[in-house]
Amino acid sequence: MLSYFKDIGLGIITVLNSMWVACRHFFTRSVTLQYPTEKWTMPERARAKLFNKIEDCIGCSQCARVCPTRCITIKTEKRGKDEPEILASDGTPIKLRTYIYDIDMALCCYCGLCTFSCPTHCLQMTPAYEYSVYAIKDHIYQFAKEKPLSVRAPAEPTTASF
Amino acid sequence: MQSIAQLLQLIPKYDTLPEIWRLLIPILVSCLLFFALMALAVLFLVWLERKISAHIQDRLGPMYVGGWHGWAQTLADALKLLLKEDIVPDATDKLLFKMAPFIVFLGAFAAYVVIPFGVSSIVTDLNIGILYVVALGSLSVVGIIMAGWASNNKYSLYGGMRAAAQIISYEIPAAVAIMTVIIPVGSLSMVDIVNAQSGGIQNWFIFRNPFTFLAFFIYFIASLAEVNRTPFDIPEAESELVAGFHTEYSGMRFAFFFLAEYANMLLVTCVATTLFLGGWTSVLPGGSQLIPGPILFFLKAFAIIFVQMWLRWSVPRLRVDQLMYLSWKVLLPISFALVLGVGWLAVR
């Protein structure tokens, strides 16, 4: 008989206790982020979308070789002897003309190996993370600006080949 | 309804209408009025429930639709439900399946007839008012078990049977707790019960003596079970029964179940307000009415509804055996003891 009343008392205390917990949470600030209007402040060196500063790129293709998903496509040609000598910002002479430098961000696995291998540090990951598109082809970003002299560049953007 | 009839007198040539129309029109008008009020209250309650549950879980809840804190979210949801395809599964008992939501709804809707929202804001003051409410509470069981049976789905049937067992069990402590109020008042009429509590907060039955104080909590717990709210929501326990008796329902029929659920919730809080919290009467001891009666009534009712929602996010769902234990071995003996105590006070 005593345990019957004990159980009732314990039940009441438990319910009141859990109500107190719920009440405390009712008055705590919500953790929801109203995403399109409020955004995360990304860390300064966050590793998201790839960016290549093509002026510093020497066309060495190390990034394309190290990429585990082969999302980088590079095509280069030798610059002519008569052309003026150009240097990357760290002083490395640029001897190749990079006329195709395509990164397929749909394939990228964000490992960042390409940025470590880049000798002139022109390929970097930026904190930009909002670049969703409607067509998967729009995920191919073309960084090359120069036109080739020897070969005709294909009109269509190249996809990474497996 | 008298006040509605008086308002209708203002329409020109109203007196020249035939007798039958003069009888029917006030009924229809009050029906429409109550339906509109109830739909509005339910839309508000669903929004409130979503906001309260969100904030208890450190979320924000609906924020976009309508601008200010997503106030139009439930309106949009209701419109969506009404526009959806009306699906009646192939192997169901068509007639019962279609009837069930409306019967559940009817049980909630018809009971509003005797709820006194204010001095003259009552459809009709039946002399058996509270008995009528208790009786109509059983009507929703019929609808729920109809839905469970007609769906031809094991989860629905389980839900329906559980709802029937639960509602019938918990009606007894609820009715006995109501008796603790009826004994000192000596009347079943809702208006008489409210009038017996006029004159300030110390005259409300919840604060009048320890027996009715406990009876309020017993009625509150039992009413939670009667309207299938957590911790007593085993008829529609999502984790076990998909959605219980309304598993097979969608679109408008589901909306009617939803409407009935929240209307029932409002109904039991209205009854609790009338019986224990003094209905429309003032809080101040002098009895001077600063806030209009109906507004005060709804403030009290919404305070109880807030506690219902608060409890929902505090307490986990009971097991079936725990549910029965609570009803038959805890609430029922205590409520009988309370009736004896109130009776002793009455004859002392």
pLDDT tens string A109-131: 988 899 999 888 888 888 888 88
pLDDT confidence bin for A156, thresholds 50/70/90 = low
Q: What is the mean pLDDT of chain B?
A: 85
**Residue among A4, A15, A30 whose CB faces B55 most closely:** A30
Rounded mean pLDDT of B227-234? 83
3-state secondary structure of B99: helix
Q: Is the pLDDT of residue B10 over 80?
A: no
**B348, HSE (Cβ side, Cα atoms, 13 Å):** 8
Q: Is A23 on the interface with B (CB under 8 A)?
A: yes
For range B177-203, the mean pLDDT: 85
Q: Residue A161: its pLDDT value, please?
A: 52
For the cut 90, the answer to whether the pLDDT of residue A44 exceeds it is no
Cβ proximity of B169 and B222 under 8 Å = no
CB within 8 Å: A18 and B52? no
Nearest to A22 among B56, B329, B330 (CB): B56
CATH of domain A50-142: 3.30.70.3270
Average pLDDT score, chain A: 85
Q: What is the DSSP string of A74-106?
A: EEEEEPPTTSPPEE-TTS-EE-EEEEEEEEETT
Q: Are B43 and B75 in contact (CB under 8 A)?
A: yes
List the one residue out of B252, B236, B224 whose CA is nearest residue B80: B252
Check whether A99 has a pLDDT greater than 80.
yes
Percent of chain A with pLDDT over 90: 9
Nearest to B40 by CA among B71, B4, B82: B71
Q: How many CA atoms lie within 13 A of A126 on its CB side?
A: 12
CB contact under 8 A, B60 and A32: yes
Q: Cβ contacts (< 8 Å) between B57 and chain A: which residues?
A: 25
Domain boundaries of chain A, sorted by first residue: 1-31, 50-142
What does the alpha-carbon distance between residue B237 and residue A79 come to, in Å, rounded to a whole number? 73
Lowest mean pLDDT among A103-107, A155-159, B202-206, B308-312: A155-159
The one-letter code for the residue type at B205 is F
Residue A158 pLDDT exceeds 60 = no
For residue B91, give the amino acid letter: A
- In tens, the pLDDT along B15-71 reads 777 777 777 887 888 888 888 888 888 889 999 999 999 999 988 888 888 888 888
CB of B104 within 8 A of CB of B144? yes
- Which residue did the predictor score with more confidence, B251 or B45? B45
Chain B residues in contact with A29 (beta carbon < 8 A): 58
Rounded to the nearest 10 degrees, the angle between the axes of helix B293-312 and helix B251-276 is 110
**B293-332 residues touching A, CB cutoff 8 A:** 310-311, 313-315, 329-330
User: Which amino acid is present at B39?
Assistant: A
A15 touches chain B (CB under 8 A): yes
Q: Tell me which of A16, A18, A24, A29 to substitute to probe the interface with B (most B C-beta atoms closer than 10 Å).
A: A18
Statement: residue B174 has pLDDT above 60: yes
List pLDDT tens digits, range B69-126. 888 888 898 888 888 888 888 888 888 888 888 888 888 888 888 888 877 777 777 8
Residue A20: its pLDDT value, please?
92
Please indicate whether, in this complex, the C-beta atoms of B314 and A18 are within 8 angstroms of each other. yes
Other residues' Cβ atoms within 10 Å of the Cβ of residue B294? 15
Give the position of tokens 């679109």.
Answer: B251
> Contact A31/B57, CB-based, under 8 Å?
no
A13 band by pLDDT with thresholds 50, 70 and 90? very high
Within 10 angstroms of residue B37's Cβ, the number of other Cβ atoms is: 13
Residue A28 in contact with partner chain B when CB distance is under 8 A: yes
Q: Are B190 and B125 in contact (CB under 8 A)?
A: yes
Cβ distance of B314 and A31 shorter than 8 Å: no
**pLDDT value for B29:** 83
Select from A8, A19, A30 the Cβ nearest to the Cβ of B314.
Answer: A19
Is residue B147 a contact partner of residue B97, using CB atoms and an 8 Å limit? yes
Closest CA to A66 of A98, A36, A111, A3: A111
B58/A21 touch (CB, cutoff 8 Å), yes or no: no
B143 three-state secondary structure: helix
Quick one: average pLDDT of B283-310? 82
Q: Among partner residues B56, B315, B329, which is closest to A25 by beta-carbon distance?
A: B56
pLDDT mean over B324-337: 90
pLDDT in tens, A101-111: 899 988 889 88
Instruction: Please report which confidence band the pLDDT of residue B269 belongs to, taking 50, 70 and 90 as the band edges.
Output: very high
On whether ipTM exceeds 0.90, the answer is no
Q: How does pLDDT run across A58-86, given as a tens digit for each residue?
A: 888 888 899 999 889 998 888 878 878 88
Residue type, A36: P
The yes-or-no verdict on residue B343 having pLDDT over 80 is yes
Asked whether B310 and B56 are in contact (CB, 8 A), the reply is: yes
Structure tokens at A46: 């966050």
Where residue B284 falls among pLDDT bands split at 50, 70, 90?
confident
- pLDDT at residue A10, rounded to an integer: 92
Q: Check pLDDT > 70 for residue B2.
A: no
Of chain A residues 34-53, which have a CB less than 8 A from chain B?
34
Q: What is the C-alpha to C-alpha distance for residues B129 and B109, in angstroms, rounded to an integer?
A: 14
* Contact at CB, A19 and B311, closer than 8 angstroms: yes
